[in-house]
Every structure is written in C-alpha cells, then in structure tokens.
Structure 1
Amino acid sequence: MPKHSTIPTVPTFADAFAYSLDAWQRSILFLDVMRQRGEQYEKHTAETAPHVLNYEAELVVDGRKLEKPVNYALVRIIPPEGIVVDPLKRPFVVVDPRAGPGIGGFKADSEIGVAMKAGHPCYFIGFLPEPVPGQTIEDIAGAEAIFLETVIARHADADGKPCVVGNCQAGWAVMILAALRPELFGPIIIAGTPLSYWAGVRGQYPMRYSGGLLGGSWLTALTSDLGAGIFDGAWLVQNFENQNPANTLWTKQYNLYSNIDTEGERYLGFERWWGGHVTLNAEEMQFIVDELFVGNKLAAGEIRTSDGTAIDLRNIHSPIVVFCSKGDNITPPPQALDWILDLYDSVDEIRAHGQTIVYAVHDKIGHLGIFVSAGVARKEHDEFASNIDLIDVLPPGLYEAVLEPAREDIEGRDLVAGEWVMRCEARTLDDIHALGGNDIEDERRFATAAKLSEVNLALYRTCLQPAVKAAVTPPMAEAMRRMHPLRLQYEIFGPSNPLMGWIEAAAAHARENRKPAVDDNPFLALQENMSRQIVDGLEAWRRTVEHLSEETFRTVYGAPALQAALGIDRNADRPRKPAKSHLHQALLETRIAALRAGVAEGGLREALARALLFVGKARGGADERGFEAIRRLRRAHPTASQLTLPEFKLLLRKQYFILLIDEEAALSAIPKLLPEDLEERRSGFNALREVLQASGAVTGDAAERLERIERLFGLESAAVPFVARKTARERKTS
C-alpha cells in the first residue's frame, strides 16, 4: 500500500477534486481487472487440463489409461532456453495438492525452477479438474507409484532415486506411498504438509477444531450427496479463506484498488491459480476427513489398504525434509512435525529405523507462501535442491536445516554455490516439543471428537442419506456447484454479464487520462485510516470467533461424561500410539551382531569414512561446504570417483552404525583398515583434514578427535594445524 503523509492538513477543494477523479479512475480500472479475472476464469475452466505451470511440458503417462484409471498424469518439464540439466543428476518430481495444479512451477523462482537451475531433470504430477468415476485415494497412490517407476526407468543411470516434493496435502499422499513402496524414493520434501492433524498450541491454529465443532465428518458425506457423489473443492478453499476474513473480505481487494496502476498483473496471476476449483469423488473426500483430518490415523499406523497392509511411516527409508512456518495457520509447525513424536520415543529410535529427518521452520511466511513465494524459492527451496545429495547421505537422526548468508569473507566461500550456506544441525525430540503441542487432556478431547464423528456419520448414513441421494440428481448438483459463492464472484464480473460490457472501453479511457492524486492528499490519508479500521474490526471479529470456538471445543469434548459415553479411557497415558514391532527389534539385533562382526572389515575408504563421522560428531551436524569438498576430491581422484552416491551413502551409514554401537571398538580397529604405505595413509588423512576444514578451522572437541585420528593413522602430530592443537590443549587446561 502507498505511504501517505500523517501530517494533518486542511483539505481544499482542489484536494477533493483530485481525489475524486483519482478514486473514480481507480474504480474503473479495478472493475476492469475484475472483468479480466472473469474472462481468465472462464478460459481456464474451459481447458481440458488447466494448470498454471510457467514451463512447457510433455505428457509422459496419462493416468486415465492405466488399469485403474485416475485423473492424474505425469509430465516432463521442458527446460527453458539457457537452462541445462544433467541427465546423470537425480530427477525431481513435484506433486501439487488437489487444488490448483502447477503451483510448484508457478513462476521462474519456484520449486521446479530452482531444481532445474541446480541441473536436475524435473517432472510434474498434475491432475484434471474432474475425478474419474470410482477412483479412490489408494488408486491415486497406485498411479503415482507407476509414475515414479517410469521416472526411474527413464533415468536408470542417475546418481540416486528421484527426489519427490509434496506440497500441502500432496505431502501426506507422498508419505503414504513412500511407506508402502519405499524403494521408489530418494529424498522426500514435504512443504506445508499436515501429518499430525490434532496438534497445535492453545490460543492458536483454530482450524483443527472445525471437525469437532461441526459434529464430525457427517457434513462431508452430506455435501458429497448434495453433489450427487461429487465433493466440490470450492468448499475447501472457502474454509481456507475463512481463516483470514480481513484478507478475504477486504485487504486483498483493497490492495488491488489502492495500487491499481502496478498490482493488476500480480493479482491476475495469483487468481488464475486460486480460482481453479476442482472436485473429488465422495469416497476420496470421506477418506481424507475420516482417516486424516478428524481421525488423525496416519501417524498412529491405523490406516490400512484394501488388502489389509498397515501404513507405517517408520517404513520410509528415504531422508524426509519437512518445511513449515510459524506464520502458517493452516499447517503450523506442530501439525507438520508432531508425527515424529507420535512415532518415536527418542532420536535413538529414529536411528534404529534408519530414518533421516531434516526440518526447517520459517519465522513468518504464510501457508501459500511456502510453495509460491519467490523469496522462499530462492532461499529454502534453492538450498534443498542444491544440497539434496548432502541430505541424502546424512547419517540417520533428527536435524534442523539452518541457513546463513554466504558472506564473501566466510571460510570456504568458493565451495558455496548460492547466496546461503546450509548446515544440518543435530536435534532431539525436545526441540520438537519446544515448538508447542497438545497435552494428554487435549489428545483425549480430539479422540472424543473422532469417536463422536463416527457415531454421527453412522446416524446420517442410516437416517438421512437414502433420502438425500434419492432427491438429488446430477443436473441439480451441477447447478448448486455453479451457484457456489466462490464461483459466482468470478462469473458475475465475467463476459456473460452484459452490465460489464462498457468497462473495457472506460478503462482504456481512464488509462489514457490517468491522474493519480499526490501522496500527501489528505483524502488518501483518510482512505488509509478507514482501511486500517476495517481490518482491525475484522481481525477483532476473527480473534473473538477463534477464542469462542476453542473454548467451546474444549468444554464440550473435555466433558468426562461424554468421554466415558464414547469409550475414551481417561487413565491411558496417550489415547493412541503406534505399536512397536517385535520383528523389527529382532532384525535390528541381527543387524547389530553383523556390524559388530564386521568392525575390522574394509580398507582406507572405510577408515576415512569412520574418521570423518567421528570428528564430525563433535560438531553436531554437517555443512554443505564439507560435502562439496568431498565432491571435488572424488572428481580429483579417479579411484574415489568410482564410488557412486548410493554406494557412498551405504558406506557412511554402515560406518555410522558401527560407531554408534561401540565407538571405542570402532576406533581401535582403524589401524587394521589402513594400508601399509605411509604416504598413502598421509594422503588419505590430508584429504580428511581438507574436508573437515572446508567450513572453518577444526577446534575444540573436534580438534582433539582429529588428533586422535592422526595418531591412529600413525602420523606425526605436525600434520595437524597448530591453531587446532592449541585450541584443544587450551580446552584441557581451562
């Protein structure tokens, strides 16, 4: 919004006339943008496969032609002129939520854009507005598995499996498939994805109460029945917009009106995607609400496929990158991250399952900005794409991705490709707890709401559903969809409205004779003050409604009588927790025994990997500069470059677990792994030191550990930099 003078001045007739002319011209230009939005909406909805991709694409697999047809498709993104992709780099596959296809490639600075800039081939999984009759969420997962198999076959020589990016609700779909078919995935990036649907902080994030306040999922079934078996996705968008009435009812339009000379193109670009409402089969939406939003069954391992297979997120073998934001009231950090607390009791348990989880928490970006903001794309998504191989080879555990500006004077600046340096720092479950979450009483309240939802849904299906289905015909359902307020707001300003016929010519005349009021016009200041008061009023209304909703939910579903009637055990420590697997424990013990037996197996390569992990452990994480130094060493030494990235990952993981099981035995065995040639040992040690120093001098505990490795290599202490040795000795005497 423009900034206007706050110095009070006495309005003159000239000020009033100038403002009136400016306001009239802005009103005409505003209506013209609304007219263009209506035309854009009609053209977009008339397309067979509408999307907002900023890139050309070629169809690879049409999901409608599969054995179990779905309205999804796999396309290859054609690199624009000037962008060169490396076919040997792992491909990226971007999956958007069932809302507006293409947001992952909405603009040049996007998830697809930064991945191609980093040299990765890119694919996109999109969808058509109308579902194939009878398709289910499980059918879609099966189709996406075929899509990934196709990508893997097309890039058989790539240095790793595809990196799959799941935005918002596509994230949980990707995680479900990865739990069922872990062999198809390289690293997984889930952005703004809810996985723990009940989680939140008291006084914040009220959307999680919606299901309980509406009595559960019976309303979803009713809406689908009123749509003749089709759920209108416009209702999901409506729920989203209801979370911010100030922006929905005023700010978005006022920002366009007050900046009409510069804001039109950006506004139309966003509305092209935002107005692309899609539909879902009743079965699809009911699954989403019952199993996820209200039931919260995914992290608990309570969802089963049609053949009885339990979906357990602990089966995922690939690194998982979770990107969320404190400014996101749709998928706040607890909903994005508390599935980790549901599944695991400690970081050691995460390691025991061989999982690597990296999370990044933005301070303020909103839900949509996580996938469409150019600033986020240039920072977080760019760093994830540039360092996806580093993430892939991280030892199992929990990490936070910390991004720092890549100043010109930092150590190893030539090893950093972009404007930021990414460091993955080790974290514990306490760090996840610190972001906020539910207590046991809150968990019981949500469990009560889920039970009541099951009761109400059964009552609806028994008493009302037959009558509703008999009364609603497909033409009636289509008419109701077209009358949805979100669709009407586009069509009422579109070309089908004869009252809009004069706007285009009037807007052209207004542009030719445009005379905006000067910034210090007192009427502009009055306009801004009125706008702020409207926003403040709507914000006060939002806070009041949210507080009332929360207290109502807590009171109703916290009632002991209701909990007892619905069978909620008030003595349980936690209402639901995924079961531990005795088979996994037995396999783990067998694996530990095998690792103990192989502690002295290998050569210089294994010794260097073990030493790197031992020294790096003292630093509490990994830095992209160290990984880039390893890359360069691999390219410089032919024998090292023979090791592929997956082989390097396996090497690091094996040595990491050997260290984890018995660190002293692992270190004592290093001399047995070394060659007899002293120069070969020295060369290997110098390479190790070069990697460790890529992100700065080796100091403190890390320096002491490096000195110990040097002694195990049988080299003179002079090989260690004097500064590092001095720092280590000072620590001993301090």
Structure 2
Amino acid sequence: MPMENLKLPDGPMSGLVASAVEYMVDAGQRSVLFLDIMRQRGDQYREHVAQTAPHVLQYAAELIMDGRELDEPVNYALVRIIPPRGVEIDMSRRPFVVVDPRAGHGPGIGGFKADSEIGVAMKAGHPCYFIGFLPEPMPDQTIERIARAEAKFIETVISRHPDADGKPCVIGNCQAGWAVMILASLRPELFGPLIIAGAPLAYWAGVHGKYPMRYSGGLLGGSWLTALTSDLGAGKFDGAWLVQNFENQNPSNTLWTKQYSVYSKVDTEAERYLDFERWWGGHVNLNAEEIQFIVDELFIGNNLAAGRIEMSDGQKVDLRNIRSPIVVFCSKGDNVTPPQQALDWILDCYADVDEIRAYGQTIVYTVHESIGHLGIFVSGGVAKKEHAEFSSNIDLIDVLPPGLYEATFEARGTETLNADLVAGQWVMRCEARTLDDIRAMGGNSPEDERRFAAAKRVSELNLTAYQKFVRPWVKGMVTPQMAQWARNMHPLRLQYEAFSSRNPWMSAVKSVADHVEDNRKPVSQDNPFLAFQEQMSKQIVHALDSWRDAQEALSETIFLNVYGSPLLQAAVGIDPNSAPSRRREMSVEHRAMLEKRIAELKSGIGEGGLREAALRALLYVGSARGMVDERSIEALRQVRRDHAGARLTLSEFKMLVREQFFMLLLDREGALAAIPKLLPDDMNQRRAAFAAMREVLSASADITGERAKRLQRIAELFGLDGEGELTSNVAPFDPKARAS
C-alpha cells in the first residue's frame, strides 16, 4: 500500500505516529543516498589512483621542471599555477612557492580550494608555483636528494622573475615544513620569507595530558617497526600507514562523525565530502631510506633543532643559518603538531631574543585557538584570514627588524583608524615577544627529556638488532608481488574498493538512488525523532572520545613510567641525574663574524644622509610601541611613492632597516646624537622628512605617551623645535624623557 494512503489514528498519538513515518521515510532515503555517495567515493578512488600524476589542485598548471629528468631523479615536479580569469598578477611582486606535504596523501592540498594558500597569494597579485610529487618514489631517492631537487626548482623560479621585488616566499605545510627548513638552512640565499604551517620541528615537545602522538615511537619500541614495514613492502613504505596514524588520533571522527555528517546532511554534503576524500584516499609510497630518515632523525631522534643532521657532503643542518624571516603558523586545536612542537625549536636554538638578533633572524609566529591540523591548510576561514594577511603583508614581514614577534589580527570595522590603509578584512600586527612567551605555553621538564632520550637509545638498539638478525630473513621471503598484494589489502584501501561499483551489491545502488532523488521527502527540522538521532550521535561521539582519552592517558602513563625508570636509563647509557639540553653555544667563527660586524656598524653610525636619519628616527619612535602595524608599512609605501628621489629596492630597504636598527640597539644615544650630522642644511627638506615620519607613525594610532616624547626629541634633533611642527595630539616634551 502506498505510504500516502496509510490512515493514521486520531488522537494524541496521531502526531507522534506521523512524525515517526516521516522520519522513517527520510531515514530510508538518506541511507540509500549515503550508500550511493560511498559508491561514488569508491569509483572516484579507483579513477584517482589510476592516474599517472593524480592531484587535487583546483587550478590549471603548467609543468616547468620534472624531477624525474634530473641527474639525480626524484618523483617531484615544479609547476606554474595559471591564474584564473579575473585574477591579475603583478610580475614585479615576489613569487610564492607552495611545497606540498608528502605524508601519505597525494599532492594538491595547498590549492585544494579557491580560498587556499595559492588562491589568496594570487589574489594579492603574486605569481604562484607549486612543488608536488607522484605516487611512486624514484629508485634510490632520499630526503637529501629531494632537497637538492627542490633547490633547483627554486633557482628556476628565481631565474623566471629577475625583476621581482624579493626572493620567493616559500610555504611548507606539515611534513613539507621541516623539509623547507632543512633546505633553507643549507641554501639560505635562495629564500625570501618562509611560511611554515602546521609543521613539527621540535618532535619531543608537548605537555602532559595532551598530544600523545609523541609517545608512539617509544611505545612501539622505536623505528624497527618502520624498517620491518618497509622490508615487507620490498623497499617501499606504504603511505596508507601514515594516514592510518592520523586517523587513529581522532577515532570519533574516523569511525563516526565524518560519515554521520554526510548521512545527516546527505542533500548538501556530497560534493564537499567527495572532494576531500579524493585527496585523503590518494595514498602514496616512500622509499625505505626516506621514511627511516624521517623517523630516526626527526620524530624519534629529534636531531633537527639540535643540529645533529649531516648531509652526505659533511654539511650540517643548522636552523640558525636561515637568513629569511620565518613565519610559524600553528594551533592549540592541532593534536598532530601542537604549538610546542611547532615553536620549541626556537628554545633549542637560541638563549634569548638578543641571540636571535645576533644571527640576524626574524621569527614571527601565530597560534590559532581551535583549528585542527588539516584546517591549517584546508579551511577557507583560515585562508581568508591568516594566509590572506600573510600574503598581503609579506613585505612587512620581510623588512621587520630581527627579533621574535607574534602576529595578531583585529577585524577591520567602521571604528578602525585609517581603514583605507588595510589590505583585507583584518588588521595585522607583529608584536614583540620574548622566549618566555613561548615557555609559557608549557613544555618538557628535564625528567621528560631523559625519558625521550632513553626511548631514542632503545630505538637505536632495537633497530640494530632487527637489521642484523631479522631483516635478512624478511628480505629473502618478500617478493615485489607479495608487497603489492599487501598494499592492496591495506584496510584503508579496502574500504574504498568495497563500496565501489566493482562490488556487485553496489551496482543496484545507483538506480535506487536516482529514484530516491526524484521522490525525495526530507524530514522537517522540528521532528522529534530527528532530535533523538542527533542526541544519539552526540552520545556516540562522547563515548568514542572518552575511550580515546582513556587510551591516551594509559599510553602516557606507560611511556612515562617505562622510560622514566632510572634502571632503564642507566642500562641504555642515559645519566638519570643529568639535565639534558640540546641548545648549542654560538660557534667561535660566528662570534668572530659578529664582533667584526658590530665594529663596522658602530663605525658607520655617523655615515649617511637624510634617508638614514629619517629611518633611524622612525625606528626609535616606533619601537616605543613594541609592535609593527600593517597600516604603518602601507603609509611608508605611500610616502616612498609620493616623494621624489632615488628609489631603493626592497632588499636594499631591508638592509637599511637592519643597519639602522642594530645601530640603535648597539649605541642608542650615540646613534641619536649623530642624526643632526646626517641632515641636509635645507630646512624644507627636514620639514618634509619629519612630516612624512609623523604621517607613518600616526597611521595606526595617535602619537601619545612615550612615542610622543620620543617624537619631540626627534623634532629637536631635526632643528624643528619651537617651529610648531608637532601636531596637537603630541604631548609636550619632557626633558626627563631625554635619557629614554
């Protein structure tokens, strides 16, 4: 009997029965449509993996260099992103290069949506390039060989933009972040600003009760299991195991929420879900040498920040060699790369901010409050805010004086001062910070450091034993055919295959789904059974989250107790009473170079002209606020455009900023006292320069307090005191402030 011909009972129960019937019809239809989406996902997976160069980029691209054709071939390639219609590219602006993470998934995540890292960079007018990879590694491919190939790619980008206003800005997401940092330490001359998003750099760091992924290596007995997996793969490591590792971190999402979201919103979620699954299911392989380097040197060894990684030519990786500004983007909601793992390398490399400056380094970090690991690169909201601001203000970041800063963002509104100087919907500021601000986020105690050192040593012993006693047997038994069969049988691959059209049970789903779509009857939002469904979903999520929390607490307890044992530590050569530290002292060579540079800067304090004097004055007054605002930089750009004279390139301007900043840092009173000697005799030129400075300083806030006192002092040095040159919002000069 047709459902519409059913006669419902009268009375109070009639409404409830009607709601139940309505819900059952909707639930049945949703179930069929959900199964059809799973079928589409399976078919999409099969089409994707059958491609030679699968990717999820939403932009057309032109192949520039194929890494397979290099003398040392790799499965990486450089492509130029072709801007879509309506997007204007300014070829004088520095190019952006997005390096994709090879962490088990396929390439393309940096250009997954229109609102993406690539999208916002092109919107800001920058030419864009993308470094991606193929599913299969080349024979004998190593991490070092990939680094050399990526250096060639970036050299090519530089050669294609000889008139650009700076070296390329390179974005490294997740695993690509540490790869970019390694290359930038070896070839610092190739890079403009680096944006390192969601990338682990301090692998042991964290706090108790959170982020248990850092315990995995110790709980598995070290990297011997990595070596075994590679040997069972006939020399290749299946990236699906890395994806499985990600999924294990959030079982409620993996086992329930991701699928339930599609089922509950089946009429609207299909496209978004299928787009994401096309990337998530595009598993790739790594050579055994690659994954062993990653696990031994980085995740278990934690050797990157310590400077203990050495290339085949003897060159050591030292992150302090990087000369480009480093922007670190992380999130408190990221349980794969928490803020401590993204930032604590700074504590390992530098004693304080003065040492950061001594290496000429500029580090800017921003910490999102809630976004998850993938959201850092995928979320449209993040792209529109943080990545858009980084792209629009990359020149601001590049010319920041050396030091440590936190990037903060304030929504632009009707009350925003000089809103016309703001590029996007947010006002970006870089506020000065110290290492104590990073320490305040929490980190390891000396006892924790000893535990991780013990786990590292146990890993080395177990790996040596495996390589000597077990590996020959495994390699002798495994054939390439067996390895391929094992990859095909991986549970993550089977779940895609099982619901594809190859399954005869799924062949009938499409026709039934077409019929359901023609007769779709969604349930009303106020249906009580729908509310019950949502409540049950929340209970399932809560149960799975509680189970995860219990497992994580148990894992942490086991790790802390096993590797915290003084007997185990002594047995593997770790002094239970030591206070381990990875921080290195400044080398004799660098100290000598630094002393020579200090002498040069001090001797040049009295050299220069109006440009040097004005910039020195700007830095002196502006530093009282402890931050740099994008409006001030835009005002400075306009001043440079509106005033005649020889124009500086961005790199020349950056060098001038640094010289004047260090002169003030080394001898502020001497640097200020020298300003009158640098000024021209023409008072009109002095007045114009002072007016320009005042315009820049007032772009982001009224000139009050300490800044007003310092500006009054500059007026005196410019010989303008008493001529009415100061605006009414500048407080009267206080002689006692002169010493400041």
Partners of 2:344 and 2:62 lie apart in 1 by 38
Q: Which of 113, 118, 125 does residue 112 from structure 1 map onto?
A: 118
State which drifts further: 57-66 or 574-583.
574-583
Q: Which residue of 2 aligns with 1:503?
A: 509
Question: Matched residue of 1:147: which SS?
Answer: helix
Partners of 2:128 and 2:13 lie apart in 1 by 58
Q: Is the 8 A contact 1:75 1:125 kept in 2?
A: yes
Partners of 2:77 and 2:244 lie apart in 1 by 27
Q: Which of 643, 659, 663 does residue 658 from structure 1 map onto?
A: 663
Partners of 1:518 and 1:360 lie apart in 2 by 43
Deviation at residue 518 of structure 1 after TM alignment: 1.7
Deviation at residue 546 of structure 1 after TM alignment: 0.3
1:683 is aligned to 2:688: yes
Question: Matched residue of 2:731: which SS?
Answer: helix
Q: Is the 8 A contact 2:233 2:480 kept in 1?
A: yes
State which drifts further: 700-709 or 576-585.
576-585
Question: Matched residue of 2:204: which SS?
Answer: coil
Deviation at residue 729 of structure 1 after TM alignment: 9.4
Q: Is the 8 A contact 2:203 2:299 kept in 1?
A: yes
Q: Could you tell me which amino acid in structure 2 is paired with residue 147 of structure 1? A: F
CA RMSD of aligned residues (A): 1.4
Q: Which residue of 1 aligns with 2:37?
A: 33
Partners of 1:269 and 1:248 lie apart in 2 by 17
Q: Is the 8 A contact 1:9 1:522 kept in 2?
A: no
Question: Matched residue of 1:116: which SS?
Answer: helix
1:674 is aligned to 2:671: no
Question: Matched residue of 1:12: which SS?
Answer: helix
Q: Deviations over 1:671-691 (max 9, x none)?
A: 111011111111111111111
**Aligned pairs for 1:713-732 within 5 A:** 713-717=718-722, 718-726=724-732
Q: Which residue of 2 aligns with 1:5?
A: none
Q: Which residue of 2 aligns with 1:527?
A: 533
Give the 3 Å change call, closer, same or farther, for CA 639–10 of structure 1 in structure 2: farther
Question: Matched residue of 2:327: which SS?
Answer: strand
Q: Could you tell me which amino acid in structure 1 is paired with residue 272 of structure 2? A: R
Question: Matched residue of 2:713: which SS?
Answer: helix
Q: Deviations over 1:35-68 (max 9, x none)?
A: 1111111111111111100100000000000010
TM-score, reference length from structure 1: 0.97
Partners of 1:108 and 1:728 lie apart in 2 by 54
Partners of 1:616 and 1:226 lie apart in 2 by 61
Q: Which of 648, 654, 659 does residue 653 from structure 2 map onto?
A: 648
Gaps of 5+ in 1: 1-7
Partners of 1:229 and 1:573 lie apart in 2 by 39
Q: Deviations over 1:114-167 (max 9, x none)?
A: 000000000000000000011000000000000000000000110000000000
Q: Could you tell me which amino acid in structure 2 is paired with residue 64 of structure 1? A: R
Q: Is the 8 A contact 1:19 1:524 kept in 2?
A: yes
Q: Which of 81, 85, 88 does residue 84 from structure 1 map onto?
A: 88
Deviation at residue 475 of structure 1 after TM alignment: 0.5
Q: Which residue of 2 aligns with 1:213?
A: 219
Q: Is the 8 A contact 2:620 2:710 kept in 1?
A: yes
1:613 is aligned to 2:611: no
Deviation at residue 497 of structure 1 after TM alignment: 1.1
Q: Could you tell me which amino acid in structure 2 is paired with residue 48 of structure 1? A: T
Question: Matched residue of 2:202: which SS?
Answer: coil
Q: Which of 178, 183, 189 does residue 183 from structure 1 map onto?
A: 189
Q: Which residue of 2 aligns with 1:68?
A: 72
Question: Matched residue of 1:260: which SS?
Answer: coil
Q: Is the 8 A contact 1:18 1:517 kept in 2?
A: yes
State which drifts further: 10-19 or 343-352.
10-19
Q: Is the 8 A contact 1:700 1:728 kept in 2?
A: no
Q: Deviations over 1:552-596 (max 9, x none)?
A: 000000000111111112343324333431110011001101111
Deviation at residue 726 of structure 1 after TM alignment: 4.8
1:127 is aligned to 2:133: yes
Q: Deviations over 1:485-520 (max 9, x none)?
A: 111111111121111111111001001101122222
Q: Deviations over 1:663-720 (max 9, x none)?
A: 0000000111101111111111111111111112111111111111110000134211
Partners of 1:660 and 1:128 lie apart in 2 by 49
Q: Is the 8 A contact 2:44 2:278 kept in 1?
A: yes
1:562 is aligned to 2:562: no
**Aligned pairs for 1:419-438 within 5 A:** 419-438=425-444
Question: Matched residue of 1:480: which SS?
Answer: helix
Q: Which of 326, 338, 341 does residue 335 from structure 1 map onto?
A: 341
Q: Is the 8 A contact 1:11 1:522 kept in 2?
A: no
Partners of 1:271 and 1:197 lie apart in 2 by 28
1:95 is aligned to 2:61: no
TM-score, reference length from structure 2: 0.96
Q: Which residue of 2 aligns with 1:45?
A: 49
Q: Which residue of 2 aligns with 1:13?
A: 17
1:601 is aligned to 2:607: yes
Q: Could you tell me which amino acid in structure 2 is paired with residue 441 of structure 1? A: E
1:484 is aligned to 2:490: yes
Partners of 1:295 and 1:630 lie apart in 2 by 46
Q: Which residue of 2 aligns with 1:200?
A: 206
Q: Is the 8 A contact 1:606 1:655 kept in 2?
A: yes
Partners of 2:424 and 2:375 lie apart in 1 by 21
Q: Deviations over 1:285-340 (max 9, x none)?
A: 00000000000000000000001111000000000000000000000000000000
Q: Could you tell me which amino acid in structure 1 is paired with residue 684 of structure 2? A: E
Q: Which of 574, 580, 584 does residue 574 from structure 1 map onto?
A: 580
Q: Is the 8 A contact 1:603 1:673 kept in 2?
A: yes
Deviation at residue 273 of structure 1 after TM alignment: 0.8
1:632 is aligned to 2:628: no
Give the 3 Å change call, closer, same or farther, for CA 83–510 of structure 1 in structure 2: same
Question: Matched residue of 1:48: which SS?
Answer: coil
Question: Matched residue of 1:481: which SS?
Answer: helix
Deviation at residue 412 of structure 1 after TM alignment: 1.3
Q: Which residue of 2 aligns with 1:365?
A: 371
Question: Matched residue of 1:172: which SS?
Answer: helix
Q: Could you tell me which amino acid in structure 2 is paired with residue 682 of structure 1? A: R
Partners of 1:700 and 1:361 lie apart in 2 by 30
Partners of 1:570 and 1:425 lie apart in 2 by 40
Q: Could you tell me which amino acid in structure 2 is paired with residue 96 of structure 1? A: D
Partners of 1:344 and 1:571 lie apart in 2 by 24
Partners of 1:609 and 1:260 lie apart in 2 by 59
Partners of 1:529 and 1:118 lie apart in 2 by 44
1:294 is aligned to 2:289: no
Deviation at residue 527 of structure 1 after TM alignment: 1.5
Q: Deviations over 1:443-482 (max 9, x none)?
A: 1111110011000000000111000011110000000001
Deviation at residue 727 of structure 1 after TM alignment: 9.3
**Aligned pairs for 1:223-622 within 5 A:** 223-622=229-628
Q: Deviations over 1:364-422 (max 9, x none)?
A: 00000000000000000000000000000000000000100111222111101210000
Deviation at residue 619 of structure 1 after TM alignment: 0.6
Give the 3 Å change call, closer, same or farther, for CA 402–549 of structure 1 in structure 2: same
Give the 3 Å change call, closer, same or farther, for CA 304–30 of structure 1 in structure 2: same
Q: How many residues align?
A: 724
Q: Which of 693, 698, 710 does residue 693 from structure 1 map onto?
A: 698
Give the 3 Å change call, closer, same or farther, for CA 39–393 of structure 1 in structure 2: same
Identity %: 68
Q: Which residue of 1 aligns with 2:4?
A: none
Q: Could you tell me which amino acid in structure 2 is paired with residue 460 of structure 1? A: Y
